[in-house]
Structure 1
Amino acid sequence: MQVSACKNDDFFDLERPVQSPWTKLSEFDRAVVGPYAWLFSKGDWGNVYNYWYLYKNAIADDVAWATPGDGTWGWYRDTEANKAWTDDIFNTSYSAISSVNDAIQFVDDAGGTPFPNMTAEDKQYNLDRIVGELYFIRGFAYYMLATTFCTAYVPGGPNDAKQIPLRVKKATDYQDASNPKMGTVQEIWDQILADFEKAQQLLPERFVTGKMHASYQAGRANKFAAAAMLSRAHFAMGNYPKALEFASFVIDKNGGDYDLSEDPIQAFNKSTLARGKETIMYIPSYDITFGKQNLHSTCFSNMFQKTVCTWTATHMDYQTLKRIGWMQNAKTDTTIGIAARRDKRFSQLCFVREPANVPTAQRVPGRFYETRVNLTWRTIVADKAARGPGAGYTNVPQIRLAEMYLTRAICAFKAGDKKQAAADLNIVRKRAWDARVAGVAYESSGSLATEGNITEQMISDERLIEMFCEGDRIDYLRALKTAVGNGDRGSGTTPYTSQAFVWPVPVVEKSLNQGYQ
């Protein structure tokens, strides 16, 4: 067809207006399923959530790097350089935010009643739930963006740096899309709080069979997930009383849905529509059609699908191992200490790797010796991925109750309530205590925390062990507003406000977004 054949402008006139993709309530669930997929399950080798905590694991003070050089992973905190996967965190998060904004506006434009024939029950169990999930997802996307691309929030500080766009409305034209409002650090965190508050208001406490869309039971956000994220957000902002308040809501008001009655492994070994008793939210990777764990988790965990991964890049920092009593000096003494052996998180969620330089004739059967990385000392790596019978199709916990207990413990400690802090710390420690190995019950051991002996370091080290390689450590230290240790990178510390923990936005975004000009 010749170009001249297109001169008839009437050809481009729409005979009818664009139709909404959601013509009935049952279809509107797709509005939230899509953004969930964008953030948590897109791609075999990469998804945004996985990339986010990959880089969190890399830049903290509790891991060392096994492979020579850095190149891609950011262990040297070379955050002045763009990384392909941090760019993906930025781009895909905003894709999810745009999708959410479209859906929220669809409801707002209809005065909150986009489907006139809805019953009151439909509104309660489905429309309000879906809208609550939309706000939750937008809040979660901005939480990942803020903790990746924004300087740390400083309580009482100006927090006026403008580093990322703040989009809460659908763009109406190209000019609107290319010149968005640039949010200050304060505005971004205020929006995160507002979104999670709205989510907590609208979301139900739990799935109700026969009332809600069946997919809602598969790990999606509920009222307690929103409260947990409010706790995280207030904690990141240094508002410890509010962080404690929302952590307490999750712990005390969940009606028995969540507890720490199971071994630690139970949060990481579910390959069906199931969760551990402490798991508040998870990625349902068990779905053999659309599921499967992200394969980049292998860079900070022991397993690759059904076999031991030979290219795992991270292991526990040697200074950390000494401080927590697991190994006194891995470079001269390979003994695993009693503090590790009596800890179920070591036996169930960590893996010991032997150095590559041990001669074949001296290798002990049944042990794993490094082959593709040039490690010359014994290491301890995380073993939290692919632990269910479905291997790579094992659900990935995103929010766990143990974190809420430890958040409440540190916030109570800072408020001077050492009794509460010790009680919460003991709940987490006792769950991980192996009395058969220790030879004594936890309550009778010297590890029992009391109002008289508890310290901030005890709580922080316990959290390091509990949340090892779940992307928590660097955000925890920045939330405490404390300097971050350099670990095996060298002596000294780095201020929590350092740009070493802030990744640059994509180059293309800076070139096309007028807000950066």
Structure 2
Amino acid sequence: MQRIITMNNIKKYLILVFITLAGISCDQDSFFELERPNQFPWTNVSELELGVREPYYLLNKGPWDNPFGTIALKNFTESDLALYIPQFVGASNSAAYYNRDFSEAACINEMEGAFLKCYEIITACNGPLQMLSDAEENGEEPFPGMTQTDKNKVNQLKGELLFMRGLAYWYLARMYAPPYDPNGSNDGRFFTLRLEFSNSSEELKNPTLGTVAEVYEAIENDWTNAKELLYEDNTSVINESNARARANKFAASAMLMRLYFIKGEHAKAEAECNYIISNGSSIYDLTEDPIEAFNKNGADGWGKEVIWQTACEETSGAYGRIESIFSRNHYARDAQSSWSSQAMSYSAMMQVGWMDENHAETEEAQNDKRYTQLYYRYDVDPRSDLVPPLVWSYKYFRASDARRSNRPLIRLAEIYLTRALIRLNNNDSQGAAADLNMVRNRAGLDNIAAADITKAAIDNERIKELATENGDRTYYLIGQQLPLYIGDRDASNFSSIQPPYSACYWQVPQSEQDQNQAYN
């Protein structure tokens, strides 16, 4: 898959498959740092690994427009969980997100940057994948004189490339196309789909727009193949101090879980949950406090529940800043940044039992480790005399070098919560309660009896656990074909978005529409 190429960039992509990326220098994150420019073709396994590192670097490169931060900001602000405070919005698209102005082209700031980053990731994956595919079609080894160890490592590296290409398309599908409709044809075309590398100027100027169905099929194929190739424990075949920042079999399985859930294929999603929970029990658990997933720099490792994360070393210049828009802490200051503009909505706080009708903090909140460790309440906002109180996400910038804190992208708690809902929907209240209580117990809360478990109880635990992460709230509602509720928005001006959410997507950046013939 080649990124959508503007006319000004065609020459560059014809000359080089990959370029030395700006910012790869002594201040760059050592995890993603390349020892030399990533060139094509690669001549041995060690050089191929440089090609595999590049997509990870690109994912984490843009402090204001990385895809994982953008989707978290966008979907949280669009959801019923966000309380938008326009007095403090900076240059982000927050007002458009909150107002759900989907008809606008994503022409500025984080949305346009994330769009480009996704295609850069796809390009970075397609080059080495094409080389490996060509060798396989010719009945050859990709490199001469390969040992069995080399072959095993190439399988792992190929799996990572497939994983990252699928991830880039996942972000594109979540942002720039309507959600997959389980009851629809999904034949709309919204952005370029290419699964082979091309250096033909004509092909680059005339890409094909994939249908929603084709894009989701491509994502599923990439992650399914990645899961087959990747190691469960990849530490023996990669040379990284922070192994959880590189994809393994469980990360691919978790992304398949998300894909199947949002498509409404919940039996398949449950099968992936079962695989992760059963086979990963010696690697992942919920024995640590919630904060332990968020308080690490790259060299510090990872929390025990973290299945996959993006890691930043203390010298990195590739740290994310997007979370400062909807999180309490910014950089190394233990304070609110001046542009933080999305706190938790009052309706959500009351729904989950952390705030009463008088906006007072409840005993249930005080007893919940997630509230005390991962959220922060201001009775008076330190930036102004805004009407109190405000409760903010406090998950980010929590490591010793705050601005470079690792970002968990897949956590075990999500797997249990997803399976709990599916089990309850299958009338397995005993199994649903067991899964839900795994998450509740880690938070310091008592069990919910199987006889008392409800869908609302699972929904509320999911909000408490996953609010502001990975665009989870809208994903969770879409996966159940439920309305996207309005939260604290004015009911006279807003209404819930009903399934199949056919207009619920952002337009491809205007700059790409103008210069790419596929959109004409």
1:236 is matched with: 262
Partner Cα separation in structure 1 for residue 367 and residue 485 of structure 2: 27
1:452 is matched with: 451
1:438 is matched with: none
Please list the CA deviations of residues 64-122 of structure 1 after superposition, one character each: whole Å capped at 9, or x if unmatched.
11233977212111122233221222221011112211110011112262112110111
Match of 2:84 among 45, 65, 70: 65
1:225 is matched with: 251
Contact 1:218–1:273 (Cα < 8 Å) also in 2: no
Listed as ranges, the matches of 1:81-480 within 5 Å are 81-83=104-106, 84=108, 85-111=110-136, 113-124=141-152, 126-209=153-236, 211-214=237-240, 217=243, 219-271=245-297, 272-285=299-312, 287-290=313-316, 293-307=319-333, 308-311=335-338, 312-329=340-357, 333-355=358-380, 369-371=381-383, 375-433=386-444, 442=446, 448-470=447-469, 471-480=471-480
1:37 is matched with: 57
Partner Cα separation in structure 2 for residue 118 and residue 273 of structure 1: 34
Contact 1:354–1:370 (Cα < 8 Å) also in 2: no
Q: Secondary structure at the match of 1:92?
A: helix
Moved over 4 A (4+): none
- How much has 1:379 moved relative to structure 2? 1.0
Q: Which blocks of at least 5 consecutive residues in structure 2 are unaligned?
A: 1-14, 16-38
Please list the CA deviations of residues 155-205 of structure 1 after superposition, one character each: whole Å capped at 9, or x if unmatched.
132111111111101123122112222211111111111000011000011
**What letter is aligned with 2:48?**
F
Q: Secondary structure at the match of 2:144?
A: coil
**What letter is aligned with 2:308?**
M
Q: Who wins on radius of gyration, i.e. which is larger?
A: 1
**What letter is aligned with 2:382?**
E
1:25 paired with 2:37, answer no
Partner Cα separation in structure 1 for residue 514 and residue 62 of structure 2: 27
1:437 is matched with: none
- CA 1:59–1:78: 2 relative to 1, 3 Å: same
Partner Cα separation in structure 2 for residue 399 and residue 496 of structure 1: 26
- How much has 1:20 moved relative to structure 2? 3.1
Please list the CA deviations of residues 197-233 of structure 1 after superposition, one character each: whole Å capped at 9, or x if unmatched.
0110000111334x43336725210000000000000
Q: Secondary structure at the match of 1:380?
A: strand
Please list the CA deviations of residues 313-343 of structure 1 after superposition, one character each: whole Å capped at 9, or x if unmatched.
11111111111111123xxx34201121111
- CA 1:292–1:163: 2 relative to 1, 3 Å: closer
- How much has 1:419 moved relative to structure 2? 1.6
- CA 1:376–1:255: 2 relative to 1, 3 Å: closer
Q: Secondary structure at the match of 1:20?
A: coil
- How much has 1:490 moved relative to structure 2? 2.5
Please list the CA deviations of residues 11-39 of structure 1 after superposition, one character each: whole Å capped at 9, or x if unmatched.
xxx9xxxx834121111111111111112
Please list the CA deviations of residues 346-387 of structure 1 after superposition, one character each: whole Å capped at 9, or x if unmatched.
0000001123xxxxxxxxxxxxx3315x62120110001111
For these two proteins, the number of residue pairs brought into alignment is 468
- How much has 1:464 moved relative to structure 2? 0.8
What's the Cα RMSD here?
A: 2.0
1:481 paired with 2:481, answer yes
TM-score by length of 1: 0.87
**What letter is aligned with 1:51?**
T
Q: Secondary structure at the match of 2:377?
A: strand
Partner Cα separation in structure 2 for residue 420 and residue 185 of structure 1: 34
Q: Secondary structure at the match of 2:210?
A: strand
1:6 is matched with: none
Please list the CA deviations of residues 404-426 of structure 1 after superposition, one character each: whole Å capped at 9, or x if unmatched.
00111111122222221111111
Contact 1:78–1:500 (Cα < 8 Å) also in 2: no
Contact 1:486–1:493 (Cα < 8 Å) also in 2: yes
Q: Tell which deviates more after alignment, 219-228 or 21-30.
A: 21-30
- CA 1:214–1:316: 2 relative to 1, 3 Å: closer
Partner Cα separation in structure 1 for residue 242 and residue 377 of structure 2: 38
Contact 2:314–2:401 (Cα < 8 Å) also in 1: no
Match of 1:80 among 103, 111, 120: 103
2:5 is matched with: none
- How much has 1:476 moved relative to structure 2? 1.0
Partner Cα separation in structure 2 for residue 472 and residue 78 of structure 1: 20
- How much has 1:137 moved relative to structure 2? 0.1
Partner Cα separation in structure 1 for residue 293 and residue 215 of structure 2: 31
Partner Cα separation in structure 1 for residue 238 and residue 53 of structure 2: 14
Partner Cα separation in structure 1 for residue 408 and residue 53 of structure 2: 18
**What letter is aligned with 1:72?**
N
Q: Tell which deviates more after alignment, 164-173 or 260-269.
A: 164-173
Q: Give the share of equivalent positions with the same residue, in percent.
A: 34
- How much has 1:241 moved relative to structure 2? 0.4
Partner Cα separation in structure 1 for residue 234 and residue 201 of structure 2: 40
**What letter is aligned with 2:443?**
A
Partner Cα separation in structure 2 for residue 206 and residue 102 of structure 1: 26
